[in-house]
C-alpha cells in the first residue's frame, strides 16, 4: 500500500459525459501528479500540482482539467468524454524535498471505461 | 520516434535466471532516470533513481546502470523470482521542466517456473 488513495476504482460512463476522479496523497506530500495509461500509449504524464499550484503540464487535453485543494487532495475532471479516453488514470504523490530526486508513490488507479 | 525506447518489448525467462532490460533515450539534458516495476492493473513502484552523474544504483536483486555518453541505461535482475513477472518501465525526467516525466513503453517480463 503506497498511502495514495484514489476513488472511484472503476467508472463506466457514456460518450459526451463528464467525470471527476479523486486522489488523496500520502500524508505530508505536497506534490500530486496525474497520469493516463492506455493500452496503445503506455503511461503518459498529464499534470503536476505542488501545494495547490500547477507546476508542470504534460499531454493533457483541453477537455481535461485538474486542481489541488487546500487539504492537498486533487481532482481530475474529464469532460466531453470520447471512446479513446478509456484508460487507467493514476495519481502519484511525492514530497519534493529532494528537489527533483523525489520518489513518486502511485495510487491504485481509476479504470475509466467510456461506452 | 519515442524519446525513451525500451527493449525487448517482452521477455520470458526461467525462475532463478538473470536478465537485463535495456533503455535508450534521447532526452537531453535530463535530471534523473528511473526504473519502475508495474504489476498488471496496479500503480508503478519505484525501483531505482539515478542522476546523470551516477553510473549504477542497486536495490536488492535489481541493479540499474547508466551511460550518459551513449544515452543508455539497463536494469539487471539477478536470481529471478516468479514475483518479478511485471512490466518494467524506464522513465527520464528532463532537466528544468518541473515534474514532467517521459516514459518508455515498458518491457513485459514473464518468469516461468
Of A42, A55, A103, the CB nearest to B99: A55
B93/A43 CB distance under 8 A:
no
Chain B contact present for A88, CB below 8 A:
yes
> What single DSSP character describes residue A3?
S
Per-residue pLDDT of chain B (113 residues; tens, 9 = 90+): 569 999 999 999 999 999 999 999 998 888 889 999 999 888 999 999 998 889 999 999 999 999 989 999 999 999 999 999 999 999 998 887 766 788 999 999 999 99
**Cis amide linkage into residue B8, ω under 30° from 0:** yes
B32/A109 CB distance under 8 A:
no
Segment A6-23, tens digit of pLDDT = 999 999 999 999 999 999
Taking the CA of residue B36 as centre, how many other CA atoms within 13 Å lie in the half-sphere pointing to its CB?
24
Of B32, B43, B98, the CB nearest to A106: B43
- Strands B72-77 and A105-106, how do they pair? unpaired
Chain A residues in contact with B99 by the CB 8 A cut-off are: 31, 33, 45, 48, 50, 55-56, 96
User: Residue A46's closest chain B neighbor by CA?
Assistant: B100
> What pLDDT score does A100 carry?
61
Segment A20-50, tens digit of pLDDT = 999 999 998 999 999 999 977 788 999 999 9
CA dihedral A2, B107, B65, B29 (to 10 degrees): -80
Average pLDDT score over chain A: 92
Better-scored residue on pLDDT, B96 or A64: A64
Better-scored residue on pLDDT, B35 or A58: B35
The Cα–Cα gap between A14 and A11 comes to 10
Cell representation of residue B84 = 518479478
pLDDT higher than threshold 90 for residue A5: yes
pLDDT higher than threshold 70 for residue A97: no
Which stretches of chain A are DSSP H helices? none
Q: Can you tell me whether residue A83 is helix, strand or coil?
A: helix
Of A48, A106, A109, the CB nearest to B99: A48
Q: What is the DSSP string of chain B?
A: --SEEEE-SEEEEETT--EEEEEEE---SEEEEEEEEE-TTS--EEEEEEETT--EEEETTEEEEEETTTTEEEEEE-S--GGG-EEEEEEEEETTBTB--EE---EEEEEE-
Chain A residues in contact with B103 by the CB 8 A cut-off are: 42-45
The Cα–Cα gap between A99 and A108 comes to 25
The Cα–Cα gap between A75 and A34 comes to 9
pLDDT higher than threshold 60 for residue A58: yes
% of chain A exceeding 70 in pLDDT: 96
The dihedrals phi and psi of A2, each to the nearest 5 degrees, come to -80, -20
User: How far off is chain B from A73, nearest CA to CA, in Å?
Assistant: 18
> What pLDDT score does B88 carry?
98
pLDDT higher than threshold 60 for residue A98: no
Amino acid at each position: 500500500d503506497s498511502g495514495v488513495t484514489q476513488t472511484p476504482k472503476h467508472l463506466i460512463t457514456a460518450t459526451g459525459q463528464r467525470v471527476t476522479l479523486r486522489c488523496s496523497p500520502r500524508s505530508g506530500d505536497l506534490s500530486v501528479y496525474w497520469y493516463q495509461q492506455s493500452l496503445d500509449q503506455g503511461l503518459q504524464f498529464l499534470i503536476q500540482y505542488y501545494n495547490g499550484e500547477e507546476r508542470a503540464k504534460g499531454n493533457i487535453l483541453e477537455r481535461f482539467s485538474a486542481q489541488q485543494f487546500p487539504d492537498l487532495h486533487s481532482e481530475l475532471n474529464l469532460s466531453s468524454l470520447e471512446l479513446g479516453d478509456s484508460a487507467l488514470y493514476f495519481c502519484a504523490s511525492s514530497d519534493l524535498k529532494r528537489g527533483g530526486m523525489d520518489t513518486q508513490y502511485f495510487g491504485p488507479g481509476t479504470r475509466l471505461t467510456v461506452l | 520516434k519515442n524519446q525513451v525506447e525500451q527493449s525487448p518489448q517482452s521477455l520470458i525467462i526461467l525462475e532463478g535466471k538473470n536478465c537485463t532490460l535495456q533503455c535508450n533515450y534521447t532526452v537531453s539534458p535530463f535530471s534523473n532516470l528511473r526504473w519502475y516495476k508495474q504489476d498488471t492493473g496496479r500503480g508503478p513502484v519505484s525501483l531505482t533513481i539515478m542522476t546523470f552523474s551516477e553510473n549504477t544504483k542497486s536495490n536488492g536483486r535489481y541493479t540499474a546502470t547508466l551511460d550518459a555518453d551513449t544515452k543508455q541505461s539497463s536494469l539487471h535482475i539477478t536470481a529471478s523470482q516468479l514475483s518479478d513477472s511485471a512490466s518494467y518501465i524506464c522513465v527520464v525526467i528532463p532537466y528544468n521542466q518541473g515534474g514532467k516525466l517521459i516514459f518508455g513503453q515498458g518491457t513485459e517480463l514473464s518468469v516461468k517456473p
